[in-house]
Structure 1
């Protein structure tokens, strides 16, 4: 892995972890409802990405696809609704388990193969993730557990579609801009039903999530995906719960425990075995 690819992947994972923290703050500690949060998040991302293209004088060069936009929208909506009814640990296991399984299965269908060391690495990373989340794991309501799995599969589809993007900025912008009217239509339906709830803090978190950790973060991810095979792309994302957990310690005054440190070491060691293995899977 080159330094550029390492940096792209690292900053993309940091953005995803930041996104998790912002979602946690908004949906758990403010009055904003999931639909309003998703609409503000996607529209903010679309505006930020359009601005980036305009500054680069490429605003007429939108790429992306409707399939990518629908996968992005499905991921965001399913995640937001599930997150309000599922403990954080359970949600992370379902989400990243679905991402890992669906992406690796796809990789196997297109001919990728795991080396023995990579198999060990994936096992270590999953073991560390389970250990990290075990204290908060609880049996989720079936419907919301299913929604979190749907969210993981939708994110996998969005990631896999991104591997073919020629211009990560234009592709990400195109996906967000296509998804924005869908999100606004859902918000309008929510408004008509008088179910819209929001406050200034929740809206601010949604804007930060959309414009920075989603919009700009997804550009980095699409750029990294061009150089990652499916197995590595699936595995590196297991680092996100670890980064989010440490972010909670740094910014939300959550405790730093021995379990967190040990589980994080397992996850990161497993990820390292997968991405540093020389065999082309």
Structure 2
């Protein structure tokens, strides 16, 4: 397969020509893609197949693959008790002439539509059954065993990385060491869950992470809807009220309050308030 997409320049698959990539997917997976259903994101593509399944295609540079590989969706097939699309098969290939890999994973179709964009601006209509299924899946995920390390935004999560991020909220001498690492989805947002039937998808970055990362991430993506953020806190209280969960809340606040944050982001003020409260709690020990 030839391609003009180079590892040395930024690539956005929403605007790049991708017909040759889709042709290769059809060849290696022995299926036909419904190009009318094509979903294009910055670094991934998705489309329905002629056998009633879904294929997600991702482009990743070598330096973003790492020693554990990048078969998160395939590895997630082994998770028990978690509501997710069933994985069927996958394929990976190198882009000739570049330090770039492509990967295609074929799964069941989702049982419903994504709840919304990653950050919600209005409260979704979610049933009590949805919240129960959500909690069952996150609790089951935390009981799994894996050697994978979570890679939020394709970057391996490390003690040093989040300690540096949350240092702005804490004075020197406050211990930022995480005590409990558990399996996490690592990209928990409203665009990766379905309704009205709960299902959690896009598993490429899952792995071991500090307790509370998923809960804090979803809380941060809910802050524009105060009642929804409060509901997330109530449902995942045992994660967020742990010491590690408080550290992860500061980590998420640090990302929201980044120097390049949009000044009109409605999450800014509630994130500042929460960061101050949590920092005070941690200083008290």
TM-score, length basis structure 1:
0.30
Counting strand residues as a fraction of each chain, which structure ranks higher? Answer: 2
Which has the bigger relative contact order, CA under 8 A and spacing at least 6? Answer: 1
* Structure (1 or 2) with the larger CA radius of gyration: 2
Counting helix residues as a fraction of each chain, which structure ranks higher? Answer: 1
TM-score, length basis structure 2:
0.30
